[in-house]
Structures are given as structure tokens and as C-alpha cells.
Amino acid sequence: MRRKLADEVKQGKPFASLEQETYLNLQRTAAVLELRLEEALRPHGISATQYNALRILRGAGPQGLSCQDVGSRMIRPVPDITRLFDRVEARGLITRARSTEDRRVVLVKIAPAGLRILNSLDAEVDALQRAMFGSLGEKRLLELIDVLEKLRSG
């Protein structure tokens, strides 16, 4: 009988269903993994959400992306991407400018300071991810990816 999650969350009664236990296990695991990332990012003064946005912008290259495009690529959707960018821009990690083709569109680009933070974090985050997942081995990681992708596709 599986009791690890129930023990972690101090639940005395059984879960209502296997599906409920699975869902709660996924949520708990995601929260634990995100907390580990947040702890690694904290000394650099950025959150996991800001880190995700900066990585998207680095991948976009020098042309940048619209706020909407960044928002659509975020791992976890952000209800107010403008406020997120306000905070990151105030630190000098991004720049924003109106598109010359369409003044309604705001283009966001990663600034040199944002690139420096990401470059300084690359090895640390890679090591963290290897520590979190490396013990599973390639076969189990590929199986896990497949299962998670099936869940997301419905």
C-alpha cells in the first residue's frame, strides 16, 4: 500500500481514488522541484518565473519577442506578464520597445545583464536538474516524459 504522499501531507484517511492520489503526487512533486529551483535562483535575485521568461528571451535571440509570444511559451502561465516584465526591466535584465510595424505590440529583448545572470546560472541549474532526475536513468526519464506528454494532451 502506497503511503508516502499520505505521510508527507499527514493524511490519515485513504485517497478518494487512485487518480486523486496520482494528481496530488504530481502536484506535490512539482512543488518540491520548483522549490529547489527557487532556492538555487534566490542568491541571484530572480524567481523561477523570471528565470523562465529570461530563458525564452535568450532563445529568441536579438530580435526579441512580443509580450504575448513570451506569455504563450511560459512553462506556467502568468496572468499579468506586463507586471512580470516591469519587475525584470527595473533590474535592467530586459528592454522593451514598441514595434515599428505595429505600435500595439511591445517587443521584449533580453539585456546584457539578463544574459550574464543566465550564463552564470547555466551550469548550476544543469547540475541541479541532473541531481533531481539523474537517478532515474535514461529509460525511465523517457518513459516519464512520454507519460507527462500524454497527460497534457488529454
Q: 3-class SS at 140? A: helix
Strand partners of residue 108: 65, 96
Burial class (CB in 10 A: 0-12, 13-18, 19+), 15: middle
Q: Is the pLDDT of residue 83 over 70?
A: yes
What is the pLDDT at residue 2? Answer: 61
Q: For residue 41, with 0-12 CB atoms within 10 Å meaning exposed, 13-18 middle and 19 or more buried, which class applies? A: buried
| Residue 37 contacts residue 125 (beta carbons within 8 Å) | yes
Report the pLDDT averaged over residues 111-122. Answer: 97
Topology of the domain comprising 45-124: Arc Repressor Mutant, subunit A (1.10.10)
**Ranges of each domain in the chain:** 1-44, 45-124
Residue pair 36/128 in contact by the 8 Å Cβ criterion: yes
